[in-house]
């Protein structure tokens, strides 16, 4: 999609029920491979982190290509059961940052609300795949303690809705939560971390856009795309609708071996993200979560790729290369 197409003044959200698409998502690796014309391989029959991928994302995969970069992000592999040195179930220290049920307070001035444990897709490198959601997310009946915690600390000026994926909640529930947050005078910004507009663009409904447009704070939405092929026409149109409601869009990606670990692929991703309306923000080194070691890329290679990006792209298209380290007061730049 060309950038000038984003200047259109109308956006018509699709009428398909996104919740029905979640219900019909593919959960069996053999079925996914059959849809792509691929023979079953050595995929595990059972995984502690079951496969989940909706048809809208499958439609962007190339049939017959076992190494398709979108397929590799979601297909379970037997290596996931291997123990790798330095990899753990809580690689970023979420457990130690829990301030209240559903509240992670890692960094000064902002808190992260675990709104749900649900996602539209199960990415194989997810750093929260072993997160104890049953005990740690703040459901609608359990928001009071989280709200009270935020209200009691006037240094908190930014709320980050996370999960899981916060847009898996019905818009009605999101409205209820933000209505309660609106009564806290020291909140100045709302940030939403979500993969839904990329994985399932039909989630960007009229109701969702109306809610975003009614909020009393500037809204930053951080989407997550790792490869240029994730941005099809439907995704670009959904992002256009969000921008038209004044939402500031950023994209964060993870550097993943075999998926985007080359400077040409990264350059394509950054261009495509910007053309779709999301400014490149962070490029994360892999969080060392158990089972994801096959995606790891060493920091020296990452720095070489960043140097190539700076030579190739305008400065505003170059993301910040960072690593999250448990206990640090901010994400660490990789220099």
pLDDT digits (tens, 9 = 90+) for 207-252: 999 999 999 999 999 999 999 999 999 999 999 999 999 999 999 9
Task: Report the 10 Å Cβ neighbour count for 211.
Answer: 17
Closest alpha carbon to 185 in 212, 161, 217, 210? 217
- For residue 126, say whether it is annotated as part of any ligand binding site: yes
Indicate whether 52 pLDDT > 60: yes
Stretch 177-190: mean pLDDT: 98
Indicate whether 184 pLDDT > 70: yes
At 264, list the tokens.
């040409």
Which tens digits make up the pLDDT trace of 60-98?
999 999 999 999 999 999 999 999 999 999 999 998 999
Q: How many domains does the chain have?
A: 1
Which tens digits make up the pLDDT trace of 110-167?
999 999 999 999 999 999 998 888 777 776 667 899 999 999 999 999 999 999 999 9
Cα separation values, 310 from 218, 275, 314, Å: 30, 18, 7
64 in Cβ contact with 37 (< 8 Å): yes
- For residue 119, say whether it is annotated as part of any ligand binding site: yes
State phi, psi for 53 to the nearest 5 degrees. Answer: -150, 125
Task: Judge residue 145's burial from the number of C-beta atoms within 10 Å of its C-beta, 0-12 exposed, 13-18 middle, 19 or more buried.
Answer: middle
CATH number at residue 226: 3.20.20.70
Domain that holds residue 172: 4-8+10-333
Predicted model pTM: 0.94
At 334, list the tokens.
């990789």
- For residue 236, say whether it is annotated as part of any ligand binding site: no
pLDDT of residue 140: 61
pLDDT of residue 121: 98
Q: In angstroms, rounded to a whole number, what is the distance separating the alpha carbons of residues 295 and 286?
A: 7
Indicate whether 7 pLDDT > 50: no
Which tens digits make up the pLDDT trace of 287-322?
999 999 999 999 999 999 999 999 999 999 999 999
């Amino acid at each position: 999609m060309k950038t000038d197409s984003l200047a259109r003044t109308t956006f018509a959200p699709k009428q398909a029920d996104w919740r029905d698409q979640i219900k019909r998502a593919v959960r069996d690796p053999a079925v996914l491979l059959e849809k792509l014309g691929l023979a079953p391989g050595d995929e595990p029959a059972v995984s502690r982190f079951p496969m989940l991928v909706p048809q809208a994302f499958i439609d962007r995969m190339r049939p017959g290509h076992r190494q398709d970069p979108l397929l590799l992000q979601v297909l379970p592999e037997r290596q996931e059961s291997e123990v790798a040195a330095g990899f753990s179930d809580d690689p970023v220290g979420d457990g130690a940052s829990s301030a209240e049920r559903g509240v992670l307070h890692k960094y000064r001035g902002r808190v992260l609300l675990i709104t749900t444990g649900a996602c539209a897709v199960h990415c194989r490198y997810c750093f929260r795949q072993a997160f104890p959601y049953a005990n740690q997310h703040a459901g609608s009946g359990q928001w009071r303690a989280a709200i009270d915690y935020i209200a009691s600390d006037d240094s908190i000026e930014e709320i980050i809705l996370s999960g899981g994926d916060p847009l898996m909640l019905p818009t009605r529930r999101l409205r209820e939560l933000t209505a309660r947050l609106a009564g806290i005078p020291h909140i100045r910004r709302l940030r939403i971390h979500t993969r839904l507009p990329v994985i399932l663009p039909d989630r960007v409904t009229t109701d969702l856009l109306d809610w975003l447009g009614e909020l009393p704070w500037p809204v930053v939405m951080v989407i997550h795309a790792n490869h240029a092929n994730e941005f099809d026409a439907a995704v670009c149109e959904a992002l256009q609708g969000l921008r038209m409601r004044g939402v500031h869009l950023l994209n964060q990606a993870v550097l993943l071996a075999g998926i985007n670990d080359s400077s040409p692929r990264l350059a394509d991703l950054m261009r495509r993200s910007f053309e779709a309306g999301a400014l490149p923000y962070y490029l994360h080194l892999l969080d060392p979560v158990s089972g994801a070691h096959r995606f790891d890329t060493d920091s020296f290679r990452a720095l070489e790729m960043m140097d190539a990006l700076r030579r190739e792209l305008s400065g505003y298209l170059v993301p910040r290369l960072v690593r999250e380290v448990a206990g640090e007061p901010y994400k660490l730049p990789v220099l």
